[in-house]
Amino acid sequence: MNRGERRALWHYRLRGYRIVGVNVRAGRNELDLIVRRGRVLLFVEVKERRGSGFGGALAAVDREKRRRVRRAAHAWLAR
C-alpha cells in the first residue's frame, strides 16, 4: 500500500466506512480500495500526485481506467 492509498483509507475510515479490501485482485485488474458504509459499497481508484507537472488526479483516470475499474468491480461482486 502506497502513501496515497493509506491517506485514502484513513479518509474513508474517519467518515465511518468499513474497509472491505485493499489492493484486491479481481480478474486481471486491481481495485485499490473497497469500502462500505451501510448499504453503500464503493470501489475506489487512488491516484496520488505530488505536483501539478503531470496533471491532476482526475485526468489520470481516463475512460480506459474507468472501464477496468468497472470490470474489476463486476468480477469482485460475481465471486
45-66 per-position pLDDT tens digit = 998 877 666 666 677 788 999 9
Report, as an integer, the average pLDDT of 18-30. 94
Residues with Cβ within 8 Å of 66's Cβ and at least 6 positions away in sequence, in order, are none
Question: What integer best gives the mean pLDDT of the chain?
Answer: 90
Q: Taking the model in full, what pTM does it have?
A: 0.86
d(CA 15, CA 32): 18
- Give the three-class secondary structure for 34: strand
> In the predicted model, is pLDDT for residue 16 greater than 80?
yes
Q: Which three cell numbers stand for residue 47?
A: 491516484
